[in-house]
Each structure stands twice: as structure tokens, then as C-alpha cells.
A = this chain, B = another copy of it.
Amino acid sequence: MNDSRDLRLADVSEEEVLEHIFPLLRADHGPSAATGVLVGPGDDTAWLAAPDGRFLATTDAVVLGHDWLDAWSTGADVGHKAVMQNCADIAAMGGVTTGLLVTLAAHAGTSMAWVTDLARGIGEAAREARTSVVGGDLSGADDGTVMVSITAFGTTEGRDPVLRSGARPGDVVAVAGGLGRSGAGWALLRTGRGEIAPDLVAIHRRPAPPLSEGPGAARAGAHAMIDLSDGLVRDAGRVARASGVVIDLDPAALAPHVDALTSAVGAEEALTCVLTGGEEHSLLATFAEAPDGWHVLGTVGPVDELGAGVRVGGEPRRGGGWDHFDTSR
């Protein structure tokens, strides 16, 4: 298989596909205690080190036409984002990613050039996260269907994981990373205005979660943490309900995030993006006192007569964000 450009999956055997993409997935860093891949691809399963006798595991899938459009994202973008959203989940537990499994379900007409590009993006993201692909699966799918499912493993390096349920009245709630940028980039793409703010579009295509801030927050004594995948209000609400608290976001603290998007999408859309924009993959955590690198957004208080949930400047705020089966979009 010298030139993959004009080939489709149907033209090559599974073994040839794997031989072609494995070099693109390879880690370029040496193994360490935390990334000990004892048996990698090529056997019935992978075998990984879990130095402290426990491991984190999470999975997240993306589907063509639902989670990405080929007109907006390259194969490499799709692969990079799929890896990063899983690594962000590991980071949100205070963990470091130690390995990835990749499943591609694709129709036989899928071009090998796209598959190669996907593998390139997965490999790039894996190296950025200092981890590697340890196995996976290839499956056929109906015409037009392409799905990438990633499973990530991680270690908390001997610590207890930071859960959603640990927020306490008196905590501050803080974010590491931006807010609403991916949502704003998506809004621009949807309305054909991507050239207005290529930086926001780039973040929509390839979110850059602050992975090292996850274990950093754990070391700094974070009480609760979550990855912002479905929007600030929705994800903060998950922490509030799991912890049985009220999270009150301060409009003044949100304002710089809104202002940063206003020139691109206007003030109203900017606020919507900050509150409900998905796929940002920043980290939201609560602390007795926020460490360096975290931006305080508000406070945690006891449950009131309205129950656990999110307020913005004291006002109840529900929902927004992403539901995969909502056909009203």
C-alpha cells in the first residue's frame, strides 16, 4: 500500500489498515511508571501498569454528522478532539492518562486518506497528553457512517480521585481554561462566519484542555471537579446536585469571558456561549481557596428552598447545553 490517497477501506485488508496506521499512533516518549504499557497492540488485550493498584477508565464516542462535519473538521481534528475529550475526563478526576483504546466503525467507502489523517490526529493528541494507543477495534458500518470511540485509562498517582460530589458550602468554584470559546467557534461555523475568529474555530476543532491542572488541582486539595463538556451551567449543575449544594456564579467573574467573545459573536451570543456552550473541556473545580492558574467564578453555598443547583448572580438557572437525542435542534 504505497499511496493511501485514492484507496478506500474496502480496498485493503484490516491487517493492512493497522500496519498503515500503527506508526502514526506511536508514542515518542519513553515509558514511565505512569505510562507503563506492558503489552500493547497485537494481542487479544492490552496489559497496563497501575502502579498504585487502582486505575481510572472512561469512554467517549464521536459520530460523523452528529459530533463533527467533514466540511468543518479534518480527520486529524476529529482524532485529536476525540482523544482530548477523554483525557479531559481523566484530568477532571485529578488523573494522568496512561493509555488509550481506539475504535473506528466506518463504511467501506471511507477513504484511507481520511483514516490516515484520523490516526495522525490521534497520535498527535496522544503525544501531547504523554500517552499512547494500546489497542482498538475496526468495524464496518452503513454507507455514510463513521464513528470514533475512545477509551482512556489513567492513574491518580496514589491520590483519591476528585469526584463531583465533594463541593462544600464555603468553597469557591473556579475554572482552569477558557469558557464558551468552542461554542462561539461552532456558532461562527454554523453561520458561515468562521473567518471572523479563526482562534475560536480552532478551539472548536481542537479543544486544548488544561490537562496538567487536573492533577494540580487534586494536589492543591480540590473538593470537587468536572470537565466542562456540556456547558458551564449544565456541568456545574451536575456538581451541585451530586454535592447537594448551590453553586452561585458571579456575573462580574463571567464578564471577562463574555467580553472576550463579544467582538466575534455579539454580546448576547457571547453570554449564551459562556453559560451553555459545549465541548470547551476546561476544568471546573471547587476549593477552599483556588490555587494559581484557576479563575474564581463564584461560590458554593448550602441548599436553599429551590434545592441543589446553579444560580447566576443569585438567580436560578437551568439547562441549556447538549442532549444527543434532542431532535428539536
Contact = CB atoms under 8 A, between A and B. Distances in A.
Contacts of A17: 325
A58 B135 contact: yes
A57 B62 contact: no
A324 B138 contact: yes
A162 B242 CA distance: 42
Given A43-B163, A93-B44, A149-B103, A140 B325 contact: yes
A305 interface: no
A161 interface: yes
Contacts of A5: none
Most buried by B among A17, A138, A141: A141
A105 interface: yes
A2 interface: no
Interface of A: 9-10, 12-14, 17, 38-39, 42-67, 89-90, 92-93, 95, 99, 101, 103, 105, 108, 134-142, 144-145, 147, 149, 151-154, 156, 161, 163-165, 225-227, 242, 323-327
Given A13-B323, A42-B242, A137-B149, 12 more contacts: A39-B163, A44-B90, A47-B54, A48-B55, A49-B54, A50-B54, A59-B149, A61-B103, A63-B139, A138-B324, A142-B144, A145-B145
Q: What 9 A-B pairs have minimum CB-CB distances, sorted nearest first?
A: A50-B50, A45-B58, A44-B92, A140-B324, A9-B325, A44-B89, A66-B140, A45-B56, A59-B101
30 contacts: A10-B325, A10-B327, A12-B325, A13-B323, A38-B54, A44-B90, A44-B225, A44-B226, A45-B58, A45-B92, A46-B58, A47-B57, A48-B55, A48-B57, A49-B53, A50-B53, A59-B103, A59-B136, A60-B103, A62-B139, A63-B139, A63-B140, A63-B145, A65-B142, A66-B142, A103-B149, A137-B149, A141-B145, A141-B147, A145-B145
